[in-house]
């Protein structure tokens, strides 16, 4: 259990649930990190507790009408010995991470999961807003009211400044310059826009839950923000082209998703837009992690610049 939860006992949690008139029989500790502690209630609900406000609560409230989104049951605050805690109770999505079951799925199951994710994303992206959030995971530029292209120009300038502060090798600096040159040369492809749509913004095989070979739910909504719909699939292409292990590739699902998404597959110059998003991601990770990931991020920038996304899409078209 994280340090800031050390003196929180099960009886404190039971009392909180009773005060909120939420029925329960069995509560067990489920998982913890430095920010939150999760408890499983009756194998049906997840109780998430934190000493700070739970950012996913507001985001989940926006998408409650969408299938495959965990539903909120109660939320609020409670006090234990003068310490304030924030909590939310949501559905427990039964199943396993897509990453852990990939090798057990049939081709037909892979194709259907891709179709179901495409349908989920199309439903999700019907929720719109007037402003963009620009950035990966955490917005570098929040509530941006100008165009998608202008927002990314500002984002890239922020990335350029961050990279200039790093102590990189001369070869790495050269590769980073090539990444910025690619973005600048192709930034016009971001002029096409449908307007700000709600995004999960961290959609990858560990946040996609599978139960009995079918899509069961999408979890971990704390990074959700507003952007263009095609930005949503950037993480999936990243994991598809750079799986943690070769046997964990999920190209069949990725292709099925792409070909069944009525909007994304028709976006002009999608291969260049996705490449821009990948380059921004690698540069951002390089700034966050510095020398610890220099070799990894520079190698991946090389790959994106060599046309990995365009090659994959061309391969799909040919087959």
Residues 107-139 pLDDT 10s: 999 999 999 999 999 999 999 999 999 999 999
Domain 96-318: assigned CATH number: 3.90.1200.10
Percentage of the chain with pLDDT > 90? 93
Which pLDDT score is estimated for 319?
A: 86
Intrachain domains 3-91 and 96-318 with the same fold: no
Domain boundaries, the chain: 3-91, 96-318
Task: Give the pLDDT of residue 246.
Answer: 79
Give me the residues paired with residue 132 across strands.
144
The predicted pLDDT at position 6 comes to: 53
**CA dist list (Å): 18 to 7, 13, 25, 160:** 19, 9, 11, 52
Q: How confident is the model at residue 292 (pLDDT cuts 50, 70, 90)?
A: very high
- pLDDT category at 155 given cuts 50, 70, 90 is very high
Q: Domain spanning 3-91: which superfamily?
A: Phosphorylase Kinase; domain 1 (3.30.200.20)
pLDDT of the residue at 15: 97
For the stretch 245-273, pLDDT in tens is: 877 889 999 999 999 999 999 999 999 99
At 50-106, the pLDDT tens digits run 999 998 999 999 999 999 999 999 999 999 999 999 999 999 999 999 999 999 999
C-alpha–C-alpha distance, residues 214 and 239, integer Å: 20
């Amino acid at each position: 259990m994280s340090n800031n939860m050390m003196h929180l006992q099960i009886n404190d949690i039971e009392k909180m649930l009773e005060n909120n008139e939420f029925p329960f029989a069995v509560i067990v500790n489920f998982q913890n990190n430095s920010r939150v502690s999760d408890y499983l209630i009756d194998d049906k609900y997840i109780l998430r507790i934190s000493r700070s406000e739970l950012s996913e609560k507001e985001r989940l409230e926006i998408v409650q009408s969408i299938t495959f989104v965990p539903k909120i049951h109660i939320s609020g605050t409670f006090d234990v010995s003068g310490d304030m805690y924030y909590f939310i109770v949501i559905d427990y999505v039964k199943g396993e991470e897509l990453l852990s079951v990939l090798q057990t799925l049939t081709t037909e199951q892979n194709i259907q999961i891709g179709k179901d994710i495409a349908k989920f994303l199309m439903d999700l992206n019907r929720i719109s807003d007037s402003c963009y959030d620009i950035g990966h995971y955490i917005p570098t530029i929040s509530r941006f009211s100008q165009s998608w292209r202008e927002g990314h120009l500002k984002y890239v300038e922020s990335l350029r400044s961050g990279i200039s502060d790093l102590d990189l090798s001369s070869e790495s600096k050269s590769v980073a310059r090539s990444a910025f040159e690619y973005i600048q040369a192709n930034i016009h492809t971001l002029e096409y826009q449908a307007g700000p749509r709600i995004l999960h913004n961290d959609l990858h095989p560990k946040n996609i839950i599978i139960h009995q070979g079918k899509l069961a739910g999408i979890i971990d909504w704390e990074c959700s923000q507003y952007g263009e719909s095609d930005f949503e699939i950037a993480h999936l292409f990243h994991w598809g082209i750079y799986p943690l292990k070769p046997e964990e590739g999920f190209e069949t699902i990725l292709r099925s998703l792409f070909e069944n998404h009525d909007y994304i597959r028709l976006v002009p110059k999608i291969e260049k837009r996705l490449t821009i998003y990948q380059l921004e991601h690698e540069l951002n990770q390089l700034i966050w992690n510095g020398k610890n990931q220099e070799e990894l991020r520079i190698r991946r920038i090389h790959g994106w610049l060599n046309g990995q996304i365009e090659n994959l899409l061309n391969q799909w078209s040919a087959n």
